[in-house]
Structure 1
Amino acid sequence: MEAFLVSTGIVALAEFGDKTQLLSFILAAKFRKPWPIVLGILVATIFNHAFAGAIGAWVTSLMSPETLRWVLGLSFLAMAAWILVPDKFDEKDAKLAHMGVFGTTLVAFFLAEMGDKTQIATVALAAQYKAFVAVVAGTTLGMMIANVPAVLLGDRIAHKLHVKLVHGIAAAIFAVLGIATLLGAGERLGF
Structure 2
Amino acid sequence: MEAFWISLVVIFIAELGDKSQLMALTFATRFKAWPVLAGITIATTVVHLFSVAIGGIAGDLLPETAIAVLAGLAFFGFAIWTLRGDELTEEEAGKAARTTRSALIAVTVAFFLSELGDKTMLATITLATQHGWVGTWIGSTVGMVAADALAIGVGRLLGAHLPERIVRYGAAAAFAVFGVVLIAEAVM
Displacement of 1:149 in angstroms is 3.3
1:142 equivalent in structure 2:
143
Q: Secondary structure at the match of 1:83?
A: helix
Q: Could you list the runs of 4 or more consecutive aligned residues of structure 1 that deviate by over 4 angstroms after TM superposition?
A: none
Which structure 1 segments of 5+ residues have no match?
A: none
Q: Which moved more, 1:14-23 or 1:4-13?
A: 4-13
The equivalences for 1:23-172 within 5 A come to 23-30=23-30, 32-93=31-92, 95=95, 97=99, 99-129=101-131, 131-152=132-153, 154-172=155-173
Question: What is the CA–CA distance in structure 2 between the aligned matches of 1:60 and 1:158, rounded to whole Å?
Answer: 42
Q: Which residue is 1:16 aligned to?
A: 16
- TM-score between both structures, scaled by the size of structure 1: 0.85
Tell me how far apart the structure 2 counterparts of residues 181 and 28 of structure 1 sit (CA, whole Å): 37
Instruction: Provide Cα deviations, 1:128-178, integer angstroms capped at 9, x if missing partner.
Output: 22x111111111111111112333454323445333333333222322222
**Percent of counterpart pairs with the same letter?**
37
Residues 20, 114 of structure 2: 8 Å contact kept: yes
Q: What RMSD over aligned residues (CA atoms) do the two structures have, in Å?
A: 2.2
**Partner SS for 2:84:** coil
User: C-alpha separation between the residues in 2 aligned to 1:3 and 1:172?
Assistant: 21
Displacement of 1:33 in angstroms is 2.1
What per-residue deviation string (whole Å, max 9, x for no partner) do you get for residues 5-25 of structure 1?
222122222212211111011
Q: Secondary structure at the match of 1:87?
A: coil
For 1:115 and 1:175, locate their aligned partners in 2 and report how far apart those are by CA, in whole Å: 20
Alpha carbons 2:85, 2:168 under 8 Å: kept:
no
CA contact (8 A) 2:13 2:174 kept: no
CA distance in 2, matches of 1:70, 1:153: 36
Q: Distance in 1 between matches of 2:162 and 2:9?
A: 16
Superposition deviation, residue 45 in structure 1: 0.5
In 2, the alpha carbon distance for the partners of 1:47 and 1:180 equals 29
Runs of 5+ unmatched residues, structure 2: none
2:168 aligned with 1:173: no
Between 15-24 and 60-69, report the one with greater CA deviation: 60-69
Q: Verify the 8 A CA contact 2:155 2:162 in the aligned structure 1.
A: no
